[in-house]
Amino acid sequence: MKKIVYIDMDDVLCDFTGAYKKARLNNPKMQFPQAEFGFFTNLKAIGGAVEAVNSLINSERYDAYILTAPSIKNPLCYTEKRIWVEQQFGLEFVNKLIISPNKSLLKGDFLIDDNIQGKGQEGFEGEVLQFGSKTYPTWATVLAYLGNQP
């Protein structure tokens, strides 16, 4: 039986913080750049993220899903995140996109997220791998860990 892996989007698959900072630098009066049309659609992929997720998609051991929280500042984020997933992984993988404000509602074995609390991560029943942390600073370290799981 395949293990279920959920993967967060913002600052795990795509560079939310970099785009946010750049938008604020370009327009300091813009308080919520993520509320702008196209913000989520135009996010750049984090180095190694697309390749890593593709390896999980094609894995015999894992059933991969994207689990992302919505931005209440941008009601269009639901559509924009869906478009981003299709652009990066194709239409078929859009069926594996879950948008939920509470990540503890889902059952699974692993959650790869840049935060360990705030959107239900602290209540997730499986193991939370904090992307960008000292233990899992890159996708290579995440994949190495998952590769060593029984």
Q: Could you read off the pLDDT of 47-73 as tens digits, one per residue?
A: 999 999 999 999 999 999 999 999 888
Under DSSP, is residue 49 helix (H, G, I), strand (E, B) or coil? helix
List 8, 11, 15, 113, catalytic entry: 8
54's tokens: 């593709």
Q: Which CATH number describes the domain made up of 3-147?
A: 3.40.50.1000
Mean pLDDT, to the nearest integer, of 25-36? 90
Tens of pLDDT, residue by residue over 87-132, are 999 999 999 999 999 999 999 999 999 999 999 999 999 999 999 9
Active site residue 8: yes
Report the sign of the C-alpha dihedral through residues 40, 80, 56, 5, in that order: positive
Active site residue 113: no
Half-sphere exposure of 30 (CA within 13 A, CB side): 16
∠ CA 114-119-120, nearest 5°, is 105
Residue 58 has what pLDDT?
94
Distance from the first to the final alpha carbon of the chain: 11
Residue 150 has what pLDDT?
59
Q: Sorting pLDDT into bands at 50, 70 and 90, what band is 149?
A: confident
Which one-letter amino acid corresponds to residue 28? Answer: P
Q: Identify whether the C-beta of residue 129 lies closer than 8 Å to the C-beta of residue 110.
A: yes
- The candidate with the shortest Cα–Cα distance to 43, out of 17, 78, 4, 69, is 17
Residue 68 has what pLDDT?
97
